[in-house]
Every structure is written in C-alpha cells, then in structure tokens.
Amino acid sequence: MVMVQQDRALIQALLECDSIGQVHIKNLLDYQTGDRLKPPQINVDNNVLTAISYADSMHIYLTLKDRYREKQTDNKEKTTKYIYVNYLTRWQKVRLWIANLLMIILPVTSILYLKFKIFQK
C-alpha cells in the first residue's frame, strides 16, 4: 500500500468585531506553509470567514506513480508458497461418505416401508 505523508498549512488570526457588528482580522498570529500545501486564502465577508487552500495534485500523483512502479518491480522477484490448512483427514472423509449414503438410504427405505404398509391393509 502506498501512502502519502500528511501535509498541512496553518493560519491563526485574531478576529475583531466593530461597533456595527462586522468582523475584521485584527492580527495574524501564525502563518505556516506545508510541503505541498500553500497557506489558505482568507476572506471575511458579511461575518463569514472563508479559507481556501490548494494542493499540488500533479506532484502527489507523480510521487504515487513512481512509488507504485518501484513496489511493483519488487513483487516480481518474490515467489509465493501455498500452505494448506484445515484439510479433512481420511477418517473425516469416510464419515462424510457414510453420512451422505445414510441421507439417501433412510428416506428411500422409509418411503418403501410406508408404501408396503399402506398396500398391505
């Protein structure tokens, strides 16, 4: 399984509300970018904070593609061994055959027994 390392971008800011109830960004406290992720674009409009961040999807795709090909070539060199478990012993197979025969013989004999008993009356 191929995994991409976690990435994040961060913005921390102090928000301030003015006298008419509008929210404004007062001060940026922290601003960090990630390896592949740029910091989000922040917009405050009508007291709604919107943060949009974009990732470089082509870089992530190409990284995964290269890793998958490396792993795929390694699997060709390995051999697979099959180990059989939970197989039936000879005695268990004999018991199954006996049970199957009884499941056939008992209904047939009971039908024949009832048939002869009915015709004898």
Q: What is the pLDDT of residues 59-111, one digit of tens each?
A: 777 777 776 665 555 555 667 888 888 889 999 999 999 999 999 999 999 99
Of the two residues 119 and 102, the one the predictor is more confident about is 102
| Mean pLDDT of all residues belonging to the chain | 79
pLDDT score at 48: 79
- Are the CB atoms for 55 and 36 separated by under 8 Å? yes
Of the two residues 108 and 12, the one the predictor is more confident about is 108
Q: Which of 9-13, 28-32, 33-37, 112-116 has the highest mean pLDDT?
A: 112-116
- How far, in Å, are 80, 103, 104, 119, 120 from residue 113 at the CA level? 57, 16, 15, 10, 11
- Are the CB atoms for 64 and 2 separated by under 8 Å? yes
Q: Given pLDDT bands bounded at 50, 70 and 90, which one contains residue 37?
A: confident
pLDDT score at 11: 77
